[in-house]
Structure 1
């Protein structure tokens, strides 16, 4: 019970004068999906970072719906799955609809999150889809040789050093990675089919990792309509208040302490920029 409701229950006649409005709670899922952001990280999505926002959103009294505001180029598949499953768990417990709204990008893991909703909407300029799996890295063997650095690596287990960036790439390691990608891709495709059902078309390029603008995504069945959060929510729930559920701030941020170490901050920035740049952002 809220403070207003408690006061209303104790003061005769006040309850009749208190306006009780329905609520549509909004959760912002903005950023790269990553399992290990820094203590002061912003724009990173993982279950630990969004748990409090989700529980606050679904915990509203007189809750009519929950809206997911998604702007993400994707990232870690496990965190995508964990967050999406948590959304479905809370939605089933509360018995409320979930609407997803794609902003600039809802691609790869970002689209995985969108599929946790019962309906998906996008702007006509939004980039949606990228149902595929990607990983990348660098090889430093030539650099080590140039500076006369000797790599010393000792393992127990024949496959312990797979894809080591300081060792020459092995064909068998690449084949192993491709098989892993194929398995993750199959899980992704099955999730999309489970959530979208017969709304999907049978287009051959639907699961190739391609990305589409809003109108094309609508034709393919990846989304249910074009429109913004405020537009759709106002039409569906004209008498409801829109309430943004903010996550609990990290401890160091609440204490007002300084930024993360420079090297770590630069690396995080480069990694996130690389993820966004695949979509021209």
Structure 2
């Protein structure tokens, strides 16, 4: 579940690895809030320390979901499972009153979504999404679980609700290596959709992808019942279009989004104190 801008990057990385020119760029990522920023740490036993417990009470955590969404983290970035764990720690900390997920992602691996889905399905604090550039495909599925979704300006891009599979098949004349694959009769269905697609028959692959597409379409319509069903075919929209179609709740700055969430938290505290 990824926008075309994302898989072109993956193509570049894959080709660079094959020809030996790949040099990863390490980018430090931080989690910020209305009261500072954090870095993830572990205790002497290797268990994660909840960084939010040292923050000022009433903080709003602003957690990034940026770049291509991959399930596991590597030396250059957090994996989405890491992001999900960070969000869960924010929910667990008494110092955090609300969460904003700041998204700029074309989507990514479908497997990257499942733990994040679990965490957001059980959110215990108000959680807003803020689109800072693009929130497409797998990224939008995650955002559909949030209480509100806002975009930074009219030209932010939202949507891409759809799935596809892309296989890199080496050109036999230019390959650096030769791949020989043998399938025993007892495992005749092993990788069958992929093998047939390589040979030009994509029907089985379409059937497999349809199951995912139906599942994710159902997820979005359940989370955002007011959404226009015409948006479920994979098209990406500009924010002003997305708002009209029910994909997002409005266009505003990050400071305005923080202010609205703080107001919501204050009202909830007032109601709870009366009860």
2:134 to 94, 97, 105: 105
TM-score normalised by structure 2 residue count = 0.67
Deviation track 1:90-131 (CA, whole Å, cap 9, x = no partner) reads: x1xx3x221111111100001011112011111222110000
Residues 159 and 247 in structure 2, CA contact (< 8 A), matched pair in contact too: yes
The equivalent residue for 1:246 is none
Task: Kindly state the Cα deviation for residue 234 of structure 1 after the two structures are TM-superposed.
Answer: 1.6
2:86 to 11, 35, 53: 53
Task: Kindly state the Cα deviation for residue 55 of structure 1 after the two structures are TM-superposed.
Answer: 2.8
Deviation track 1:185-230 (CA, whole Å, cap 9, x = no partner) reads: 1111101001001x2134x3x1111101111000000001111222
Higher deviation after alignment, 25-34 or 135-144: 135-144
C-alpha distance in 2, partners of 1:239/1:114? 19
C-alpha distance in 2, partners of 1:70/1:46? 12
Deviation track 1:16-45 (CA, whole Å, cap 9, x = no partner) reads: xxxx7522222211121112443x122x53
2:61 to 25, 31, 47: 25
Q: CA RMSD in A?
A: 2.8
TM-score normalised by structure 1 residue count = 0.65
Q: 1:161 to 1:58 in 2, by over 3 A?
A: closer
1:201 to 228, 240, 260: 228
- The structure whose RCO (Cα within 8 Å, separation 6+) is larger is 1
Q: 1:216 to 1:37 in 2, by over 3 A?
A: same
Structure 2, unmatched stretches of 5+, are 1-55, 266-275
State the structure with more CA Rg: 1
Task: Kindly state the Cα deviation for residue 87 of structure 1 after the two structures are TM-superposed.
Answer: 2.0
2:253 paired with 1:220: no
| Secondary structure of the structure 1 residue equivalent to 2:218 | helix
C-alpha distance in 2, partners of 1:37/1:143? 35
C-alpha distance in 2, partners of 1:84/1:237? 24
C-alpha distance in 2, partners of 1:151/1:56? 45
C-alpha distance in 1, partners of 2:264/2:191? 59
C-alpha distance in 2, partners of 1:118/1:168? 40
Q: How does 1:97-246 map to 2 (within 5 A)?
A: 97-123=126-152, 124-140=154-170, 142-143=172-173, 151-156=179-184, 157-162=187-192, 169-172=198-201, 174-197=202-225, 199-202=226-229, 204=230, 206-237=231-262
C-alpha distance in 2, partners of 1:139/1:230? 46
| Secondary structure of the structure 2 residue equivalent to 1:178 | helix
